[in-house]
Amino acid sequence: MPVEPLSIREITSSGTSIPSTWSFMYIAILRLFKGMEVGGFTRSEVVGKTSISVGWIRAEDRQRVIDTLKSQGKVSGMEITSYSRDGTPIDCLYNCELMDMGGVKRLLTMALDITERKQAETQIKTSLQEKEVLLKEIHHRVKNNLEIISSLLELSRMQTSNQEAIQLLVDARSKVYAMAMIHKQLYQTGRFDLIRMETHIVNIVDFLRQAYQATARDIQVSIVPSDVQLTINQAIPCALVLNELLSNAFKHAFKNRFDGAVDIVIKETLSGLIMIRIRDNGVGIPENVDTEKPVTMGMELVVTLVQNQLNGTIQFERNDGTDVIMEFPVQRE
């Protein structure tokens, strides 16, 4: 809906330069809206006057139009604020261009009323902000609930002397923590679509060092810098796999020794696959274990998550220790 539609303003009678004494006087109104009125003004109240004298454009917006005309020769899609007779602000999309009409330079202008569009945009932004706050609160509560479960598992561990039970509780707690850290990162960063996996790996390593400090005290962990980000649908199963593989390295790879090294690489390949490699220089996978047929619950969990949740592949190699490589297609936003 145009506010100042297809009006013609006389600029100057000769030359193509922009004079400093523009009158910006309306000499014709070619098309109106709302019958014979423009923003509450009749045709007779507009013709022969300037936009400033009519009072339907702010001085600063008028100056922006002039400056743009001087530098570019036309104005395309400039947002300005116009005012109706009763002072109601009207958001406008303003366009104007110099034209030669019978040897006389004139300015053809058009303003489109975008008030309803701007109001709709404001409503959408408000709605999105409300949803972001809600999502943030949901992730915060999920993270808190998982941390409560983690604390309960830790309390249970402290109340038993059975080593097998202790190990099961520690393993369960590390899995809960891995999921909690995903929701914590979503809550803290304010991004609800992607998880930065390098940050998550650092958090998991720090947690596992404490959980398995008896066997992982002096293990050196190297994490290759990475900008890989995953959606939450991929980040959670990936986090559980990482937790299981790193837990195994900390628990079993360096028996009867306190030193060792674990190298972690996560990157996106040129073929669009996420490649994760975890390699240690520990004792390696026992020769009697068939890596193609996992027998432990942990290994079975890893294979199931990679193949069924991530639609990927995983390989276990004996290479002066244990070398695990998994690949899966990246899920775009």
| pLDDT tens per residue across span 175-203 | 888 888 887 877 677 666 788 999 989 98
| pLDDT, the chain, mean | 78
All structural domains of the chain, each given as residue ranges with its CATH number in brackets, are 7-113 (3.30.450.20), 219-333 (3.30.565.10)
Average pLDDT over residues 163-172: 84
- pLDDT, greater one: 19 or 323: 323
- Alpha carbon 296 to chain centroid distance? 38
Return the higher-pLDDT residue of 255 and 236. Answer: 236
Which one is predicted more confidently, 98 or 235? 235
Identify the pLDDT of residue 10.
44
Q: What is the pLDDT of residue 238?
A: 92
Residue 227: HSE in the Cβ half-sphere, 13 Å Cα cutoff: 1
Q: pLDDT tens digit string along 25-44?
A: 555 554 444 433 456 666 67
Cβ-based neighbours of 142, under 8 Å, separated by 6 or more: 180, 183
For the cut 70, the answer to whether the pLDDT of residue 172 exceeds it is: yes
* Chain center to CA of 73: 38
pLDDT at 222 over 80: yes
Question: Looking at the predicted structure, is the pLDDT value of residue 223 above 70?
Answer: yes
The structure's pTM equals 0.58
Q: Are the beta carbons of 11 and 49 closer than 8 angstroms?
A: no
Interatomic CA distance for residues 322 and 247, integer angstroms: 13
Q: Is the model's pLDDT at 217 over the cut of 80? A: no
**How confident is the model over 66-95, as pLDDT tens digits?**
888 888 878 888 888 877 777 788 888 888
Q: Inform me whether the pLDDT recorded for 22 exceeds 60.
A: no
Residue 16 has pLDDT above 50, yes or no: no
CA dihedral 128, 134, 138, 144 (to 10 degrees): 120
Give the per-residue pLDDT at 328.
96
